[in-house]
Each structure stands twice: as structure tokens, then as C-alpha cells.
Amino acid sequence: MHGAGNDFMVARWPEEMNLPDADTVRRWADRRSGVGFDQLLLVRASGRAGLAAFYHIFNADGAEVQQCGNGVRCIARYLEPDGAGNTLLLGSRCGTVEARLETGGQVSVSLGEPDFAPASLPFRARRATLAGEVADARNAARYQLEVDAGTVEFGAVSLGNPHAVIPVEVVDTAPVGIIGPQLQSHPSFPEGVNVGFVEFRDAANIRLRVFERGAGETAACGTGAAAAAAVGRFWGELGETVRVEVAGGVLKTAWPGPGHAIWLSGPAVRVYEGRIEV
């Protein structure tokens, strides 16, 4: 399956089976000798009333992570392929997510309230905060860090997974493959970070590229889109609803502001089905 080009292997995983180890995930993720994907999504019975399923997410490098916006949308479509108008509650390591299945293959998910507190990523801000700004759970400060390529200015936010958002003039020429891995491996982010490069077009439109933790640059990143929209709103660049153009298509976000969850909408497409021996 894919969500705006962000591609996944989605599988029902029996409760009695151990989760796959990192070597197995990496083998399946190989695009030449395996299935090939950005993330592996494993769906299990929830064991809780009201929850349609519980899911696990693994990056292509084999590491289990807490959240993936496009992945959750694809899980909802996987569980309810013909369920336009239905609402599902899904459980994960970072809590419960609400998913709404819509017409035209679109799925919307609630990703919770963006958390700007450095500890939530985690991010060792120390002296990185720019003068005159304070970072807490509801305020997006601007930070600076030194990497090999120079000084990088960015916002930091958690949406169940960590994001750094870098404003750029033109996203097409942004040094994603250079600054992305350098900031991702910076000691200020002890668990790594997803690095987004955002071009603010106007108050309702952005263009985005994301260097994902454990996957590299992908065609789309759902939580990355939400992170860019949330940071841009606090910086005064964006309004409540934002159209996010990514390499794989278009995503949309909606966020009224502090005290509210941010919603992510976009396509969730089933590409093919198969079986794999484990």
C-alpha cells in the first residue's frame, strides 16, 4: 500500500507470534531482493473493546518506531477497504488514533496535539534556543545547531515521533541528502529525528521534503506534513488548513491551534496482495 507515494508492507500478525527481528525487517525492506517498503506495518487484534486493531511500525532499517501518519491511514483502509463513512479507533505504542474513511480513497487521521516541549522528542535544546523565544509544549521556538554543512535554523515538535522543520526558499534545491543525515545524527537528538525541509508558498500552501529516520528521503511523510504545518502556524506563516505538496502527491492538514488535535488527510491506496513465509 502507499499514501501519496510513502509505501508500506501491511500484514496481519498473529498474536502468538513474536514480532520480527531487525534483520528480517531489513531483508523484507530491500527493494531488490525483498518486498521493498519505507515502513512495515503489522496489525494485531487489540484485545480492547472499541479498538479495531493494534499496530506496530518498523522503519526500513529494522527499528520499531511509535508513529507514522501515512501508515495509519493505510492501516485504516486495509481494515475497511470499502468503509467510506466509517470511523475506526486504532491503538499503538503512543496511544489511540481516530481514523475516518472518506470517499475517493481518502482517509483522515487524528495525530493528537503537537508537542513542542524539547523533552517530548527528545531534544537536548541547551543553548540552541534563539534569543527572545521560549519552547514549551505549546510554543514553537526557533533553534540553531551547528552541523558539518553549517548553521541550521529549525523548529522542533513531536507528533508521537520527533521532527525538526527547516524553512527553505526553494524546496527543490534544498540540501536534503546533506543536512538531513547530519541533523538526524546530531547528539542533541539522542533518538534521532525526522528532518523536514519546508517551502512556505502562502498561508494555505507549502511544499515539503522529508529525510525520515531509518528510511532516508521518502516520497511523502504524514507526520512530517503535520509537523511542518504546526510549526508554520506558530511562526505566523500558515493558517488553520494547509495543502502540503510532496513528491508523491498532496496531503492536507487541519489544526485550530493549542488544545486541539491536528488532522492529516490524503490517499490510501492498495497496490497488490501477497503472502510471505516467516
Just list the catalytic residues: 68, 221
Tell me the sheet residues that pair with 156: 164
Closest CA to 156 of 168, 145, 169: 145
22 Cβ neighbours under 8 A, 6+ residues apart: 61, 62, 63
Element spanning 73, H or E: helix 69-79
Q: What is the CA radius of gyration of the chain?
A: 18
Quote the CA–CA distance of 180 and 225 in Å, as a whole number: 16
Quote the CA–CA distance of 255 and 262 in Å, as a whole number: 5
Q: Which residue in this structure is represented by grid cell 483522515? A: 108
DSSP string for 169-206: S-GGG--HHHHHHHHHT-TTSTT--EEEEEEEEETTEE
